[in-house]
Structure 1
Amino acid sequence: MLSGCRVLVLEDEILIADDISHLLIEAEGVPVGPVSSINEARRLLKDGTVLDAAVLDVNLSDGLVTPILEALNARGVPTLVYTGGQVPDGVRHRHPDLVALSKPVQPARLIGELRRLIGSKPRVR
């Protein structure tokens, strides 16, 4: 389980965002958000919101997720991309170890990948 880990949910499709949030709660995690745009995510990060991990869609209503991915990477926040499309080559090149899952995915796989990512990094508070 995710044992209180705070996970940013950045997804512009409300039903998918709600599904992810419910999965996190069932796995004893704490969803942060969901937020639906890069601008909202920037505000969260600027406010110093504590995060243990993030689940990000790639294509959002206000652009590609790249600036948020870069900011999370700089903070050492483990990130999982959950997308219905492809991860752009430039993103893949800058983040070769990025975990990317294609929508739809089994809930156990999504939670399992998050647990693996969170477990591989020391928690920073």
Structure 2
Amino acid sequence: MPEDRRSLAGRHVLLVEDDYFIAFDMQRHFESSGAHVVGPVPSVRAALDLIAATPDLDAAVLDINLRGEMAFPVADALSERGVPFLFATGYDTATIPPRYAAHRHCEKPVEPDRIAQILLG
């Protein structure tokens, strides 16, 4: 098993993605690597509820546009808790507010191993 996949073992990873197939693929991949997937959830409200209810988040993957709703309130909540996250999106970096310039992003289609490397590597 590649080192990136081992680094997911035992980690709690929040997955915020509104595309069912992308969410399902990432969830399956992360779980096969030993991660505990929190979610996936398709909306800002559901993500914020999970963040409030889950004390042990190790990382998060956020789609930026969730059915027309931008995920930046989720990024704010994660930042307040010191949870590392990245944006997995079809948008370019120009749509990411300057306050998140230091956060990584992956353009879709994303490779789950690459996400693990960026988040936890």
For 2:9, the equivalent position in structure 1 comes to 3
2:64 corresponds to which residue? 58
Instruction: Give every structure 1 segment of 4 or more consecutive aligned residues whose post-TM-superposition deviation is greater than 4 Å.
Output: none
Gaps of 5+ in 2: 1-5
Which of 98, 111, 123 aligns to 2:116? It is 111
Residue aligning to 2:36:
30
Which one scores higher on RCO, CA 8 angstroms, separation ≥ 6? 2
Counterparts of residues 1-125 of structure 1 (less than 5 Å):
1=6, 2-61=8-67, 63-89=69-95, 91=97, 93-116=98-121
Partner-residue secondary structure (3-state), 1:18: helix
CA–CA separation in structure 1 for the residues paired with 2:111 and 2:47: 25
Is 1:54–1:79's contact at 8 Å kept on the other side of the alignment? Answer: yes
TM-score w.r.t. the length of structure 2 is 0.86
Equivalent residue letter for 1:9 = L
Over residues 28-69 of structure 1, what are the superposed CA-to-partner deviations in whole Å (9 max), with x where a residue is unaligned?
111100000001011112224421000000001251011000
Q: Structure 1 length normalisation: TM-score?
A: 0.84
Q: How many residues align?
A: 115
Structure 1 unaligned runs (5+)? 117-125
Q: Would you say the 8 A contact 1:6–1:51 is kept in 2?
A: yes
> Which residue does 2:3 correspond to in 1?
none
CA distance in 2: counterparts of 1:7 and 1:76, whole angstroms: 13
